[in-house]
Amino acid sequence: MAVQYLTDAKGKKVAVVVPLKEWEALQAKLRDLAFEELTPAEAAASEAAWQDYLAGKTKPLAQVIKEQLHDRED
């Protein structure tokens, strides 16, 4: 893997540049690994949730937290 490291003025590594094809391959492997641990139903639900997110059909996190706290019975 031909990565490049970016450093600050003191020589501390602060970022890395990964060639796009290698990045895409890593992302594909990561997705595959994530789905390997899920049941088929969980993988389908995860994919549906992701598609909802991409389509803007999700609620803001603050709203979800507010709703969850409102529904508590303790």
| Predicted confidence (pLDDT) at residue 27 exceeds the cutoff of 70 | yes
Residue 1 has pLDDT above 70, yes or no: no
Q: What whole-number percentage of the chain has pLDDT above 70?
A: 89
What pTM was computed for the model?
0.39
User: For 48-63, what is the mean pLDDT?
Assistant: 90
Q: Which residue has the tokens 């639900």?
A: 45
Domain count, the chain: 1
The model's confidence at residue 74, banded by pLDDT at 50, 70 and 90, is low
Residue 65, exposed/middle/buried by CB under 10 A (0-12, 13-18, 19+)? exposed
Average pLDDT over residues 51-72: 86
pLDDT of residue 28: 87
Residue 48 belongs to domain spanning = 4-70
Q: CA–CA separation, 4 vs 8, rounded Å?
A: 13
In the chain, the amino acid numbered 56 is: G
> Facing residues of 13 across strands?
7
Q: How many Å apart are CA 42 and CA 38, to the nearest integer?
A: 5
- Max alpha carbon distance in the chain (Å)? 54
